Amino acid sequence: MPRTVAPLTKDIAALAGLFITSGTTHLVKPEVFEPLVPSSLPRRRELIYVSGIAELACAAGLLHPRTRRYAGLASAALLLAILPGNVQMSANYGKRAQRKGTPAAQAAFAGTLARLPMQLPLIRTALKAAGR
């Protein structure tokens, strides 16, 4: 029995919108993301471009019923793949907050820490789009 296609719900559409916004920013202003790429990875600028293209492809796939299932799986995988970048961002902001000690630097660090657990509902939404 074939699986039914997950409907385009508000949360799936919002995930697609997030990918469109972020993917476009990756391509137009890649320098914003350079500090997020762990220094151990080679060809950092190229990785930023590839992840931006992947985000745009996932967004397009999530919006179309015929590709939503596969795009949901790809989106979950992408969100897991970029998690080290989010951790790197928190580490960078943590060092900055420790060095500067200003309320603004500490608030920025707290914001990056708060962002990390938000990956879970995004991954859950991606898996929902995949019918899982």
Q: Which domain holds residue 78?
A: 10-127
Question: What single string gives the DSSP state of each residue in 45-104?
Answer: HHHHHHHHHHHHHHHHHHHSTTTHHHHHHHHHHHHHHTHHHHHHHHHHHHHHHHHH--HH
The predicted pLDDT at position 1 comes to: 45
The predicted pLDDT at position 35 comes to: 82
Block residue for tokens 């137009």 = 28
> How does 33-47 read in b/e, with b if 16+ C-beta sit within 10 Å?
beebbeeeeeeeeeb
Task: Specify the pTM.
Answer: 0.86
- Classify residue 112: in a domain, yes or no: yes
pLDDT tens string, the chain, 132 residues long: the values are 456 789 999 999 999 999 999 999 999 999 988 888 877 889 999 999 999 999 999 999 999 999 999 999 999 999 999 898 889 889 989 999 999 989 999 999 999 999 899 999 999 999 999 998
The tally of domains found in the chain comes to: 1
- Classify residue 2: in a domain, yes or no: no
The predicted pLDDT at position 132 comes to: 84
